[in-house]
Structure 1
Amino acid sequence: MSTFEAIILALIQGFTEFLPISSSAHLILPSQLLGWQDQGLAFDVAVHVGTLAAVVFYYRTEVVELVVGWFNSLRGQHTSHSRLAWFIVWATVPAAMAGLLGNDLLENYGRSALVIASSTIAFGFLLWYADTRASEKSSLSALTLKQALFVGLAQAIALIPGTSRSGITITAGLLLGLTRMDAARFSFLLSIPIIMLAGGYKGVQLIQQAEPVAWGLVLLGMAIAFVAAYVCIKLFLQVIERMGMLPFVIYRLVLGAILFYLFL
């Protein structure tokens, strides 16, 4: 992998990880159109670490409050922060279980252009439906465990390439009546443990492999993914506050149509 490829792939991963537009739908384009080889496990881990660091840094104050609240709850001290922290933990379970049980199946059969294009369009329409019907009458402070698990189950669906983890969890939040900002906030906070688990799983695989690692490209990819993801989160929240999800719905439909045209 060249330096140019590392920069482009890290930018794609950073910008698409938290937008409701599917990172897998974008990562298929360089390999299919330009013939680029797989970026390798080490680089994959690096960009995951970069995006994880970005969301943790963006929500750093709240993350600290959630972690402290969770540990205090183990000693019987319950607060709104510990409550939300436990909701995030429980909502992570469905995706974690689905990843362990279905990852190999999806790797072998789910990464076709047809699957990615179809899910990009289908879940784009679902996002549009949720956004147009959003009541925005509920806040994250009123979230129940049942509702948190509903978002968690939606996150498990994101294992299907083209779905978009942030897209499907924000869709679920909107269907529950959350405001756009709170739906996005819960989606981003929920991304932290699942990215940690995915990165840890890939990290174990990396330790077990004997292939040499291009540490220069790995560190470069991590840094670029961090900056791109941080900027993405900041701009995304500004856009949805002013315009809602429609720009991303339109983008998904156009992208899905392009994928159908190119690969089918």
Structure 2
Amino acid sequence: MTLLQALFLGTLQGLTEFLPVSSSGHLAIAQHFLPGFEQPGVLFDIMLHVGTMIAVILYFWTDIRMLAQSPFRRSGDSGVHRKILLLLVVGSIPTAIIGLTFKDFFQDLFDNLTVVSSMLLVTGTLLFISERFRRGTRKESQLTIADALVAGTAQAMAIIPGISRSGSTIASLLIKGVDGETAARFSFLLALPAVFGAAILSLGDIRHVATDQMPLYLAGTAAAFVAGYFSIRFLLAIIRRRRLYTFAIYCWLAGAFFLNYSL
């Protein structure tokens, strides 16, 4: 892997992690077509996700700080924040169970362009359905354990390359009647435990990375952070304007094109 490839993949990860078009699917497709590219291993992909999650922490720093302080406060909105913190824990349970159980199976799918393309079609359909039947106005204070479990299960299924994590979690919450911006914020926060858990599990892989490759890993992570920060702002604006149809059409076109190519 070259520096240019690392920067390209990091930027691609940052843009597509939050835009509902599947970062894992785009990374799998890009790595398939990059000339002379050698798969650096799962650790590289995990580090790119860490870069985007640092962007989430900075963008939602006030929210995260309030969530962290809520167990020790008894005034203001601390009750709502404690509830959201509990729901994030609940939502992380199905993600952890499904992710750990089927981790190896899902990883093997990254080289299957047919599967990746087909799942992009599924992502597009989820986005279309959620926007078509979007009627809810429920805010954070009205989220339920059922909402958290549905979002957590959707996030777990997004381990399949081509299924968008943000797209599936946001779509599932929209279908359940949650306000668009609330759904997006909960989706971003729900990703933090999953990504950092995966990062901790992958720490042992660092010893397999050649010394001269580590700067490339860090460059890719930095690129993912910068691109991710700006894509968060962009997606929130898109959701406010009810324009998820645009991403549904994109996923359908991209999925159909690469599915036709793979066959």
TM-score (norm 1): 0.91
Alignment check: 8 A CA contact 1:121 1:252 kept: yes
Matches within 5 A, 1:1-264: 1-35=1-35, 36-70=37-71, 79-109=79-109, 111-207=111-207, 209=208, 211-264=210-263
Tell me, in whole angstroms, the C-alpha distance in 1 between the residues paired with 2:182 and 2:124: 20
- Using the alignment, how far apart are the partners of 2:46 and 2:31 within structure 1? 18
Distance 1:210 1:38 in 2: 12
Specify every segment of 5 or more residues in structure 2 that has no aligned partner in the other structure, as ranges. none
- 8 Å CA contact 1:47–1:225 kept in 2: the answer is yes
Contact 1:41–1:206 under 8 Å retained in 2: no
Cα 1:213/1:100, change in 2 over 3 Å: farther
Q: Secondary structure at the match of 1:17?
A: helix
Structure 1 unaligned spans of 5+: none
Task: Summarize the Cα distance change of 1:210–1:21 in structure 2 as closer, same or farther, 3 Å threshold.
Answer: closer
The number of residues matched between the two structures is: 260
Q: Deviations over 1:163-201 (max 9, x none)?
A: 111111001110110111111111111111111111212
Instruction: Compute the displacement of 1:54 (Å).
Output: 0.2
**Residue type matched to 1:246 in 2?**
Y
What's the secondary structure of 2:202's corresponding residue?
helix
Change beyond 3 A, Cα 1:98–1:111:
farther
Shift of residue 225, structure 1, vs aligned partner = 0.8
Partner Cα separation in structure 2 for residue 109 and residue 188 of structure 1: 25
Secondary structure of 1:177's aligned partner = coil
* Residues 80 and 140, structure 2, Cα contact 8 Å, conserved in 1: no
Do the aligned residues in 1 keep the contact of 2:43 with 2:205 (CA within 8 Å)?
A: no
**Cα deviation digits, residues 216-260 of structure 1 (max 9, x gap):** 222221211110000000111112212421111111111101211
The question of whether the paired residues in 2 share the 8 Å contact of 1:70 and 1:86 is answered with no
Following the alignment from structure 1 to structure 2, what is the Cα–Cα distance between the partners of residues 25 and 44?
12
Q: Call closer, same or farther: CA 1:105–1:70 in 2, change over 3 Å.
A: farther
Report the TM-score when normalising by structure 2.
Answer: 0.92
| Deviation, structure 1 residue 114 | 1.6
Separation of aligned partners in 2, 1:135 and 1:103: 35
- Per-residue CA deviation, residues 83-117 of structure 1 (Å, 9 max, x unaligned), is 10010011011011111110112223564112111
Structure 1: distance between partners of 2:27 and 2:133: 31
Instruction: Evaluate the alpha carbon distance shift between residue 48 and residue 110 of structure 1 in structure 2; reply closer, same or farther with a 3 A threshold.
Output: closer
CA RMSD of aligned residues (A): 2.0
Counterpart of 1:137 in 2: which secondary structure?
A: coil
**Cα gap change, 1:180 to 1:84, in 2 (>3 Å):** same
